[in-house]
Structure 1
């Protein structure tokens, strides 16, 4: 089931942080305080990394950032 804007808005914080996965390594981390941070999980040189950015971009900006991070980081040699 895809992660939609309405599902994100309806999500309530819990006592422990949890992830809402979108696609292609993109996920939203919801903290106990209610903040929501977007991360992109990717692999570089056989290691797993996570890139974090702005708090709550709209869906269009989110997908553009995901594409740029996925393709530019390995080319530029920026692991984390």
Structure 2
């Protein structure tokens, strides 16, 4: 494991943790406060980064980025359902 993998993993973990309250808030209030464009682009970008990290053999970063992308995808789905 290279040090870059550790740093990227920690940063993406923090960003993903920051999304959890937003997801819970959306489920509780049945309301989305983030635009569909923001959630879709962020989700796609995180998943693309995850795939890119795999090619660089930064596996922990890849896993965390894909999980982060999935969290953004949940926010996108909330946006579509809770209009």
Bucket of the pairwise TM-score, normalised by the shorter protein: under 0.3
Structure with bigger helix share is 2
**TM-score, normalised relative to structure 2:** 0.25
Structure of greater relative contact order (alpha carbons < 8 Å, 6+ residues apart): 2
Q: What is the TM-score of this pair, normalised by structure 1?
A: 0.26
